[in-house]
Structure 1
Amino acid sequence: MFSSSSVLVLVALLAQFGAAKPVAEKRWDDVEVKHAWVQLPKGWEYHSAPSPDYMLELRIGLKQDKLDDLIQALYEVSDPIHAKYGQHLSKEQVDALVAPHPDTTAAVNEWLEHHDIDPASCHSRSSAGEWLTLHVPVSKAEEMLDTTYGVYYHPKSDEYVVRTTSYSLPRELHSHINVITPTTYFSTMRSMKATSFVQAPQPKTEVNAASFAENISPLAVPSSCGSTVTPACIAALYNTTGFVPKSTATNKLGIAGYLEEFASDSDLQTFFKRFLTTAEGTTITHVQVNGGENNQNDPGVEANLDVQYGLGVSFPTPLIYYSTGGSPPFTPDSNTPSNTNEPYLNWLDFILNQTTVPQTFSTSYGDDEQTVPLDYATSVCNLFAQLGARGSSIMFSSGDDGVGGGNCETNDGTNRVLFQPNFPASCPFVTTVGGTTKVNPEVAVDFSSGGFSRYFAQPTYQATAVNKFVASLGTKFSGLFNASGRAYPDVAALAEGFQVVVGGGVESVAGTSCSSPTFAGVVALLNDARITAGKAPLGFLNPIFYANATAGFNDIVSGSNPGCGQAGFTAVAGWDAVTGLGTPNFGLLEKLIV
């Protein structure tokens, strides 16, 4: 017979074994909210519950083990007085810095296995291993993320998406996982904002491009360029006349396109015939990303604008147009796996996995910063840091809403009226381009978005210039903006009256979408000059612009950017939150930074 003491010991042992599994389960059941919206993002409405079997392409961003080292390296190679200036990192060097720590990989793998998912089944991982992707049904995603997905409708774009208003992770994983998508980021391919718009019909002006170019001298800009902008106007205004690129075998300009926009090859030839005869016959390279299309029968104003003026300024620098696609329109009864439909991630995932990348990029899209979850915005911004560390200069248009569009109410439940910054314009690792209008002199255009991030802190490279501007405001707009946030735009360029060929005819187009490819074209010329001189391309531009090159910009000292029921910021001497440092003078910049 067993003694009473033996029975007690046996019971205790059995209890321990029985408790082992619940303890392990508790490890993953102890969850904490990763991100949640206080209210449904504006413009969206709940439609229905998705089928539990609807397949999601779940993308998990793991914590990058040496991200701080990457950002430090980015600043070192971008600082003109640092010993490592211009020593950009290779793809392999970047991958080594952003790879997750083995403990992170192990923890996430154990979590996946807990949910009966074989980590080896992840159908694609980034080359560094910091992003992994798996296909799971909605029911499984809801179980993993302690959430409920819904089908949401966006009436303005007539688009449906599967999203959730909050998601959670085990507490243990908060230090290992940066973001999971698709979850709470509601922007889609068609609800993003393209920063261009067709202007009201202007008086027809026939321009003989060849004679115009021959009879114009640098910086002698006809008054007609104030309302009718052509490549010859830009060459004169920004002092690129006479510069001929020589390193076209190496130097490239990339345009990132979204919103199912396609650049028309025939429209490009018509544009050259009318406005840049020396470029006739020149073609661009089309690269289709994530199911992107190239429908030559349906050209987009945005895509044509970007290509025609990016190449119109930098000719004959080769141009690559990246058409980034999204998933097909969602239908509530579809079981077809969909991608995240979150374009920056799709494009960045593609471009960062390329061995070689263009030295200059321009992108003309964005969202209100407050509509982008902080975890998502931070992850995307850090991907731009990777691209900059590899030696690419990245331009983004600042937006067309002044200090904020619509009613400017916050989405945190308080409905306060605040100036509304844009993203990715507010990311500190891109160069953001505001807008001007007119010539002799240029003035700030009233829709040029500018302001201060509420997500990202002010980077040191702009502190002196920005703090001087903030101090000049005194108490004006007190409480309406975050004075310690990353300030933008960094620079500016013309933004109205661009003559763009669309469908064989000429449209007059406005928006900071005009400004970004124009400025990027000038940067491509600067990169050509540096490469020809045997130097590294410029890479991340902001540190050298703010420190060494302010004299290379045309300072814009009049105009403002109203919005949110306020007069907005005013362009003043030095940096301002309407036109940044000003518009480029290529000749001076070439002397200063080449």
Structure 2
Amino acid sequence: MVGFSLLLSVVVAAHVAVATPLKARTPYAVKEAHPIPRTWKPVSRAPGAHMLHMQIGLKQERFDELERHLYEVSHPDHVRYGQHLSQEEVNELIKPSEEGLDLVHEWLITNGVDKFDYSPAKDWVNIYISVEDAERLLDTEYSVFQHDDGSYMVRTPEWSLPTHLFDIVDTIQPTNSFMRAAPQKTDWIQFEEGWTPPGYKPPTNETIAKVCNIASVTLECFNTLYGTLGYKQKAVGRAKIAWNNYLNQTPIRPDIYEFLKLYNKPAAQHAWTFESVEIANGPAAQYTPLTPAQANGDDISEEAVLDAETILGMTWPQPAVSFSTGGSPPFTPDLNTPTDTNEPYLTWVNYVLGKKDLPQVISSSYGDDEQTVPNSYAQRVCRSFAQLGARGISLLCSSGDGGLGGQDDSACFTNDGKNTSTFLPAFPASCPYVTTVGATMAFEPELPAYREPGIGPDGRNHGFYASGSGFSYYFDRPWYQNGVVDKYVASLDGLHEGLYNCEGRGYPDVSAQGLYFAFFWNGTLSTISGTSASCPLMSSIISLVNDARLAKGKSTLGFLNPWIYSQAHKAFTDIVGGNSSSCGTDGFPVTAGWDPSTGFGTPIFPKLVELALK
């Protein structure tokens, strides 16, 4: 825990020695209210002893300046391209004012909170507090909420602050965020030789046809399809890649080893040696097979194993890092709160922002509907991702697996109590400071990943799946999308008007294969689908491009979007057919150029390297 100055320590001691009633310089008023999603219902008062890791986001004094630096070092036409900022330079730009920090300290200490620590730039204050104390501090009432699927969460729909802190504190969580950072994957399916989905047309290109099997898409297919086959890394040990694990997802090393033995044998030993970094009591990569209890749990480890198998298989011998983020403080389940519901993104991003040496590419395959997250929280998390970009880190996120929000219109409604029909963008896919990856299927040509509910290759009924697509309600269209996304919106000529924000950040930016990945899990060869597959695949290809740049004495690519939208879109295969029917509509048309189903399309690695080395 970061300590205070001697003077502040004296102030703390003085306040601890006296009573600490609820008081402040100014009256309390509601700072933020957020509607309770239709899928959540309050069931009881929250237990007063339940512990919360509360994160208080303070106003970042010079974020506009940080954003200017981010775009300058990320745009290939700018003289500063590639001159990424240091950790210290970023922290200096986003630190809060001393006056604001002092006022928040005073408020906390006056109310008996005398133990707290900070993010690296002190723009987040972390406290560990009981529900009872949090209710007093925020003049609110916490409840236990139950989701339609049976899970529980401790939240409050609104919270208050003394009015003199309104312009100093941007957000506080966990309060009114109902986000669950779910893995963007669908359906573990037992592989059966010779099965093909209805209507599938095999490729006529003999080379692709020989290595690409729609029922089980392998590393050899990816390498052939995207042009990475035969690439010899030239800066081994310098280009690094990582992936995120949340929700107790755990890489299972024996499964990863068996997968690599099958599909990239020289890389197999890397299954035992990749670095596992545990954050806030997250689980370490596991050296033993799944236990029966784990295998019968709620999708235990499938996401983490998928990310590891894809990334290690594509990028070996690059160093790779598994970030496993848990919740803080250590979670004690009870009848009302059997699972940990602490927000994972801030815990992870504040940890990595505190490190000087980071992998230059990070893949993150988790998300939820944007409207489940209060705008203030989404904005601050997104700004943290901008800090990574300014330091030269490429953060890629999956676009989601529900198309525009779900199979039919039964789920596609606003969360504001009015229940207005709407498409549902996803977060963090909608953040303009990440590169969002959609999913494709088939090979010649590739199409947006889409699967009707029905019988799969294992004879079981499987659910709806469509690559995530949409326009943000929280984030305006970033400047780098001007002339591209607005052109696409104009071409719709009013189609779906009123169901999406035509001025919002559109996504995905790019795509990669995401249907029926060959997958070894729980000792069995099978397949798995989702943008959770396409995101680590695209991340791997970007990391190989970084290798080529580093070998030529250049910087890593960093934040990708200005480069992609201004130049690198020429190095992607445009997807011009298929659909992502969802929310009871045909979805957005898949057209030449950028579209909100496939972005600019799928990568052509040799062309990406050629552009990256100019």
Q: TM-score, normalised by structure 2?
A: 0.86
1:167 aligns to what? 159
Count of aligned positions: 550
Offset, 1:559: 1.1
Match of 2:80 among 79, 84, 87: 84
**1:490-534 Cα deviation digits (max 9, x unpaired):** 000011120010022111111111100000000000011111110
1-structure distance, mates of 2:39, 2:584:
20
Decide whether the 8 Å contact of 1:404 with 1:563 is kept in 2.
Answer: yes
Which has the greater radius of gyration? 1
Decide whether the 8 Å contact of 1:225 with 1:439 is kept in 2.
Answer: no
Decide whether the 8 Å contact of 1:78 with 1:538 is kept in 2.
Answer: yes
Root mean square deviation of aligned Cα:
2.2
Which piece of structure 1 moves more, 101-110 or 278-287?
Answer: 278-287
Offset, 1:333: 8.4
Offset, 1:340: 6.5
Which residues in structure 2 correspond to 1:119-134 (within 5 Å)?
121-122=115-116, 124-134=117-127
Decide whether the 8 Å contact of 1:361 with 1:395 is kept in 2.
Answer: yes
1-structure distance, mates of 2:268, 2:127:
46
1:16 aligns to what? none
Decide whether the 8 Å contact of 1:56 with 1:339 is kept in 2.
Answer: no
Which piece of structure 1 moves more, 272-281 or 62-71?
Answer: 272-281
1:6 aligns to what? none
1:330 aligns to what? 333
1:256 aligns with 2:244: yes
2:268 aligns to what? 280
Offset, 1:339: 8.0
The code of the aligned residue for 1:481 comes to: Y
1:237 aligns to what? 225
Match of 1:528 among 533, 542, 547: 547
1:210 aligns to what? none
2-structure distance, mates of 1:273, 1:25:
63
Decide whether the 8 Å contact of 1:219 with 1:238 is kept in 2.
Answer: no
Match of 2:142 among 124, 149, 152: 149
Match of 2:187 among 190, 195, 198: 198
The code of the aligned residue for 1:395 comes to: L
Which residues in structure 2 correspond to 1:346-385 (within 5 Å)?
346-385=347-386
The code of the aligned residue for 1:513 comes to: S
Decide whether the 8 Å contact of 1:558 with 1:571 is kept in 2.
Answer: yes
2-structure distance, mates of 1:287, 1:470:
42
Match of 2:30 among 25, 29, 33: 33
1:465 aligns to what? 484
Larger helix share, 1 or 2: 1
1:13 aligns to what? none
Which residues in structure 2 correspond to 1:4-83 (within 5 Å)?
27-29=25-27, 31-38=28-35, 40-83=36-79
Offset, 1:205: 6.3
Q: Name structure 2 gaps, 5 residues minimum.
A: 1-21, 196-204, 291-299, 451-465
The code of the aligned residue for 1:154 comes to: H
1-structure distance, mates of 2:53, 2:250:
25
The code of the aligned residue for 2:167 comes to: S
1-structure distance, mates of 2:46, 2:516:
45
Offset, 1:200: 4.2
**1:424-467 Cα deviation digits (max 9, x unpaired):** 00000000000110011111112011110000000010111111
2-structure distance, mates of 1:497, 1:433:
17
The code of the aligned residue for 1:323 comes to: S
**1:371-407 Cα deviation digits (max 9, x unpaired):** 1111111111001001111111011110011111252
Decide whether the 8 Å contact of 1:185 with 1:371 is kept in 2.
Answer: yes
Decide whether the 8 Å contact of 1:195 with 1:511 is kept in 2.
Answer: yes
Q: TM-score, normalised by structure 1?
A: 0.88
1-structure distance, mates of 2:584, 2:473:
20
**1:308-354 Cα deviation digits (max 9, x unpaired):** 111222222111111111353632689x9x98611111111111111
SS at match of 1:226: coil
2-structure distance, mates of 1:389, 1:476:
37
2-structure distance, mates of 1:395, 1:219:
30
2-structure distance, mates of 1:339, 1:262:
16
Offset, 1:229: 0.8
Kindly, what percent of the aligned residue pairs are identical?
Answer: 40
**1:118-173 Cα deviation digits (max 9, x unpaired):** 4xx21x211211111123332332222121111223352x4433211110112221
